[in-house]
Chains A and B, each alone.
Chain A
Amino acid sequence: MRSEPFDAIVVGGGLVGAAIAWGLQRQGLATVLLDEGDTAFRASRGNFGLVWVQSKGLGAPWYQRWTRASAAEWPALAAELGARTGEDLGLRQPGGVHLCLSDREMADREARMARMRQEAGNQPYEYRMIAAPELRQMLPGLGPEVVGASWTPYDGHANPLRLLHALHTAFAGAGGTYVPEARVGEGQAAPRDFAVTAGGRRFAAPRIVLAAGLGNADLAPRFGLSAPVRPQRGQVLVTERAAEVLPMPTTTIRQTQEGSLMLGDSMEEVGFDIRQTPDVMRQIAGRAVRCFPWIGRLAIVRAWSALRVMAPDGLPVYDESARFPGAFTANCHSGVTLAGAHARLLAPMIAAGRLDPMLDRFTAGRFDVRAAS
């Protein structure tokens, strides 16, 4: 079989792969994007849609910086994708709150936010702990159990399906080659010389980026990389549409630009099980109603579950293969939040053939017992 030559192969057509592929194509690299098909778990079809900063990276300031860098890139990403595709990504970054339903939750949150600021070092980290009386002026119809919230100006949300669609449309529009039903079969690796078969074709390139979500766990070792990711289930409930009422998202409740209230989110260690469970749905709905009792009067019209791509420590994994330079992995559970960084920061690094030192701490080498000891 003859190889089709490209400048870069990206494996995985979800948010991570599509953002990187678009970023590479945008840099002028002829890029092929291999998408497994609808047998894949498709975390990118189940996202909650937060562009979220305030909870990310406690004890890992490099992750806080990366997340904030991505949130800062988001307006330019949304503007550029909007201009190229006509797609309105629904990006709103009005700040966000984490609601606390007890004094204990509030105290824990305050300690967490103080530590986040400390870890931000020289970079300002603006946040406020807001007690209920003031919070009631900011958010309509708060429940009596809400004692307060943490707030940062960095948080926001967007429509994840439109983001995925816009990335694919922009990628194709810029001349990128999208190949559906293309599960990677055979692969050959040599430094800056890679070939894979997929969908009955063969592709070759001096760069390959593994962004296959949970599929990376099996794929990475074949390219001298490691991606010890596991599934973590999240369930989401969606209400009927209502007139705009929430001025900003919370960690687990957001109102979409169309008016639906989205309620999340569970973190369940249940393996490759994408079923939904009434007890978890009840918990999600219950907490939402404690936060905003009026949500209880809205009908739930949809619900789903999806599997996060989770590393052992919950942080992203980015690596370049030491054995086969030119092979990269990108793994994370925040495909929406990190889309700005993936398209506009990571892709240029991959195009240049070298990850920036700011990503050093994200190496999978951190899970290597010998390296850690």
Chain B
Amino acid sequence: MFAPRPDRTGRGARRQAAPAARVEVFVDDVALRVPEGASAAAAVLLAGAALIRETPASGAPRLPYCLMGICFDCLAEIDGVANRQACLVQVVPGMRIATQRGARVAFAG
């Protein structure tokens, strides 16, 4: 479930210190570069977004919270698929992360 983050310090690992690779993604159409291996939820937080979803029940704004797949507050529309748990999705180049407003539509006649 947990992939190691790229080691940027080289401390202890006797690896060469190298700048982390950067991946370009879009959070609500705003481009930003995030470390390779980061989660979509991390990208949302790095982007400084005010919200990533509005709850179906009350419309309250939410941002990633538990970052471990439990709280569902990071639900977002990722590459056109609604209700994805952004903290469980790793970024890929060009990924589009968009605010999820209300409930996912499971079937639209």
Instruction: Give the docked Cα–Cα distance between A150 and B109 (Å).
Output: 23
Question: What residues of chain B lie closer than 8 Å to A243, measured between beta carbons?
Answer: 56, 102-106
- Cβ-defined contact, A259 with B103, below 8 A: yes
Instruction: Give the docked Cα–Cα distance between A259 and B57 (Å).
Output: 10
Instruction: Give the docked Cα–Cα distance between A259 and B104 (Å).
Output: 9
- Cβ-defined contact, A259 with B107, below 8 A: no
Most B C-beta atoms less than 10 A away, residue of A241, A259, A301: A241
Whether B83 is near chain A, meaning CB under 8 Å from some CB there, is yes
Instruction: Give the docked Cα–Cα distance between A219 and B102 (Å).
Output: 49
Instruction: Count B interface residues, CB 8 Å.
Output: 11
- Cβ-defined contact, B103 with A140, below 8 A: no
Instruction: Give the docked Cα–Cα distance between A259 and B83 (Å).
Output: 12
Most A C-beta atoms less than 10 A away, residue of B72, B106, B107: B106
B46 CB to nearest chain A CB (Å): 25
Question: What residues of chain A lie closer than 8 Å to B72, measured between beta carbons?
Answer: 301
Question: What residues of chain A lie closer than 8 Å to B104, measured between beta carbons?
Answer: 240-243, 298
Give a binary string over B61-99; 1 marks a CB under 8 Å from any A CB, 0 the rest: 000000000001000000000010000000000000000
B5 CB to nearest chain A CB (Å): 25
| Closest chain B residue, CB of each to CB of A239 | B106
Whether A2 is near chain B, meaning CB under 8 Å from some CB there, is no
Whether A359 is near chain B, meaning CB under 8 Å from some CB there, is no
- Cβ-defined contact, A242 with B83, below 8 A: yes
Main secondary structure of the interface of A (DSSP, over half): loop
| Closest chain A residue, CB of each to CB of B105 | A243
Whether A370 is near chain B, meaning CB under 8 Å from some CB there, is no
Using known A-B contacts A259-B56, A299-B83, determine if residue A241 contacts B103 with beta carbons closer than 8 Å.
Answer: yes
Q: Which of A131-157 contact B (CB under 8 A)?
A: 140-141
Q: Which of A229-278 contact B (CB under 8 A)?
A: 240-245, 258-259, 261
Most B C-beta atoms less than 10 A away, residue of A140, A240, A298: A240
Contacts between the two chains (Cβ within 8 Å), count: 38
Instruction: Give the docked Cα–Cα distance between A161 and B18 (Å).
Output: 53
Q: Which of B56, B57, B102, B106 contacts A294 (CB 8 A)?
A: B106
Instruction: Give the docked Cα–Cα distance between A261 and B56 (Å).
Output: 15
Q: Which of A140, A240, A297, A301 contacts B109 (CB 8 A)?
A: A140
Instruction: Give the docked Cα–Cα distance between A35 and B62 (Å).
Output: 38
Give the size range of A's interface with the partner. 10 to 19
Question: What residues of chain B lie closer than 8 Å to A240, measured between beta carbons?
Answer: 83, 104
Question: What residues of chain A lie closer than 8 Å to B109, measured between beta carbons?
Answer: 140-141
Whether A295 is near chain B, meaning CB under 8 Å from some CB there, is yes
Instruction: Give the docked Cα–Cα distance between A301 and B57 (Å).
Output: 19
| Closest chain B residue, CB of each to CB of A301 | B72
Question: What residues of chain B lie closer than 8 Å to A261, measured between beta carbons?
Answer: 106
Question: What residues of chain A lie closer than 8 Å to B105, measured between beta carbons?
Answer: 242-243, 245
Question: What residues of chain B lie closer than 8 Å to A298, measured between beta carbons?
Answer: 104, 106
Instruction: Give the docked Cα–Cα distance between A159 and B71 (Å).
Output: 21
Question: What residues of chain B lie closer than 8 Å to A141, measured between beta carbons?
Answer: 107, 109
- Cβ-defined contact, A245 with B107, below 8 A: yes
Q: Which of A148-185 contact B (CB under 8 A)?
A: none
Question: What residues of chain B lie closer than 8 Å to A301, measured between beta carbons?
Answer: 72
- Cβ-defined contact, A294 with B107, below 8 A: yes
Instruction: Give the docked Cα–Cα distance between A297 and B103 (Å).
Output: 15
Question: What residues of chain B lie closer than 8 Å to A140, measured between beta carbons?
Answer: 107, 109
Q: Which of A270-326 contact B (CB under 8 A)?
A: 292, 294-295, 297-299, 301
Instruction: Give the docked Cα–Cα distance between A106 and B72 (Å).
Output: 40
Question: What residues of chain B lie closer than 8 Å to A244, measured between beta carbons?
Answer: 103
Question: What residues of chain A lie closer than 8 Å to B56, measured between beta carbons?
Answer: 241, 243, 259
A260 CB to nearest chain B CB (Å): 10
| Closest chain A residue, CB of each to CB of B103 | A243
B76 CB to nearest chain A CB (Å): 13
Instruction: Give the docked Cα–Cα distance between A73 and B64 (Å).
Output: 43
- Cβ-defined contact, A245 with B106, below 8 A: yes
A249 CB to nearest chain B CB (Å): 15
CB within 8 Å of B: which residues of A? 140-141, 240-245, 258-259, 261, 292, 294-295, 297-299, 301
- A selection of 15 A-B contacts at a CB cut-off of 8 Å is A141-B109, A240-B104, A241-B104, A242-B103, A242-B104, A243-B103, A243-B106, A245-B105, A259-B56, A259-B103, A294-B106, A294-B107, A295-B106, A298-B104, A299-B83
Closest 3 CB pairs of A and B: A242-B106, A243-B103, A294-B107
